[in-house]
C-alpha cells in the first residue's frame, strides 16, 4: 500500500471489506478518521475498535448495535460532552468492555446502564477524582485509571469481582476503603503499592511470579492471604512481613511454592500465626 494521502481511506475500506464476511468485528485502528461518515457499520457487530483515530464525536449508529460487547475509543479526541450520548443508548446496554483510554475526559461518565460490564478503561485522561465510579457495575473485573490526576482512591468497595486495578501515575495520598483485592494470574514479580490499602481483609496474589513477601506489613486488617503458586523460596522473613496482621490473619495459602516443601512447614506457620485456621486447601491442589 502506498504511503501518504489516502492511506486512512484505504485502511477504512479494507476493514470494511473484512467485516462483510463475518459482520462481527470491525477494526479501524489507525485509520486517521475524523468521523465515521464513510464507514459502513453492520448492525450485527460484536466488537468495534476505533483506536488511534481523530474522532471528536461518537457516531449515533453505534447506539443501534444490540450485539455490541466490546468498544474501544482509545487514543482519540473525545471529551465529556462527546461521550455522554454513548452512556444513554439502551440498545448497547449489553456492552462488556468500554475503552476510553487516552482522550480528554475530566470526569467519569455515568456507566450505570451497563449491568454486565467487565472491563472499564479511562486511563490517560484528565480525571481529577474517582467520583461516579460507584455507578459502574460491580461485575467489573478490570479497572484502568492510570495517568490521571486522581488524589484519592474512593468508591471502590462494591467491586467484589475485581481482578485487576490499575491506578499508577496519579496523585494518590490517601488510603482506599477497598477490602478485597484479587490479582491472581497477572505475572506479578514484586508487590508494590499495597501499603496504602490499609483496609484490605483479603489479598489474592496467587499464581504470579513472586519471590518474596513484601510491602504488606502495614496491612493490619488482613485476614486471608493467597500466595500459592508463586516462587517464594523460604519462610524466612514471613513473620516480620506479616507482623501487622498477626492477630487477624486466619488463612494463608502458600502451597506450590518452594517454601512449602521445607520440613515442618505447616507447624512453623501455626507457631508464627496462632490464629490460623487454614494453611493449604485441597481445592487448590
CATH number, position 59:
3.80.10.10
Assigned domain for 184 exists: no
- Scanning the structure block, which residue is given the C-alpha cell 467519569? 108
The pLDDT of residue 172: 60
The pLDDT of residue 242: 84
- Give the pLDDT confidence of 1-59 residue by residue, as tens digits: 233 333 334 344 444 434 444 579 999 999 999 999 999 999 999 999 999 999 999 99
For residue 112, what is the DSSP state? T
The pLDDT of residue 274: 83
Distances (CA, A) of 51 to 27, 63, 186, 211: 8, 18, 24, 37
pLDDT (mean) for 207-233: 88
Which domain covers residue 31, as residue numbers? 1-178
Assigned domain for 1 exists: yes
Assigned domain for 274 exists: yes
pLDDT (mean) for 116-139: 95
Q: How many domains does the chain have?
A: 2
Assigned domain for 183 exists: no
Domain match, 233 and 115 both: no
The pLDDT of residue 20: 43
Evaluate if pTM is beyond 0.85. no
Domain match, 94 and 134 both: yes
Amino acid at each position: 500500500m502506498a504511503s501518504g494521502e489516502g492511506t486512512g481511506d484505504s485502511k477504512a475500506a479494507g476493514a470494511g471489506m473484512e467485516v462483510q464476511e463475518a459482520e462481527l468485528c470491525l477494526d479501524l485502528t489507525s485509520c486517521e478518521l475524523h468521523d465515521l461518515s464513510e464507514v459502513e457499520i453492520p448492525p450485527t457487530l460484536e466488537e468495534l475498535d476505533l483506536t488511534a483515530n481523530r474522532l471528536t464525536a461518537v457516531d449515533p449508529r453505534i447506539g443501534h448495535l444490540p450485539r455490541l460487547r466490546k468498544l474501544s475509543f482509545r487514543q482519540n479526541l473525545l471529551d465529556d460532552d462527546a461521550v455522554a450520548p454513548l452512556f444513554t443508548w439502551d440498545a448497547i446496554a449489553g456492552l462488556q468492555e468500554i475503552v476510553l483510554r487516552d482522550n480528554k475526559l475530566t470526569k467519569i461518565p455515568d456507566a450505570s446502564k451497563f449491568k454486565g460490564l467487565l472491563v472499564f478503561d479511562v486511563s490517560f485522561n484528565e480525571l481529577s477524582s474517582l467520583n461516579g465510579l460507584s455507578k459502574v457495575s460491580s461485575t467489573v473485573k478490570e479497572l484502568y485509571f492510570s495517568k490521571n490526576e486522581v488524589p484519592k482512591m474512593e468508591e471502590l468497595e462494591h467491586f467484589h469481582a475485581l481482578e485487576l486495578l490499575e491506578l499508577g501515575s496519579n496523585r494518590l495520598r490517601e488510603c482506599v476503603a477497598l477490602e478485597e483485592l484479587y490479582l491472581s494470574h497477572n505475572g506479578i514479580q514484586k508487590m508494590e503499592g499495597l501499603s496504602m490499602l490499609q483496609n484490605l481483609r483479603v489479598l489474592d496474589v496467587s499464581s504470579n511470579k513472586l519471590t518474596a513477601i513484601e510491602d504488606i506489613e502495614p496491612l493490619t486488617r488482613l485476614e486471608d492471604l493467597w500466595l500459592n503458586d508463586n516462587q517464594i523460596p523460604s519462610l524466612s522473613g514471613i513473620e516480620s512481613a506479616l507482623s501487622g496482621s498477626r492477630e487477624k490473619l486466619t488463612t494463608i495459602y502458600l502451597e506450590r511454592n518452594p517454601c512449602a516443601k521445607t520440613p515442618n512447614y505447616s507447624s512453623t506457620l501455626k507457631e508464627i500465626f496462632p490464629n490460623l485456621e487454614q494453611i493449604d486447601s485441597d481445592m487448590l491442589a
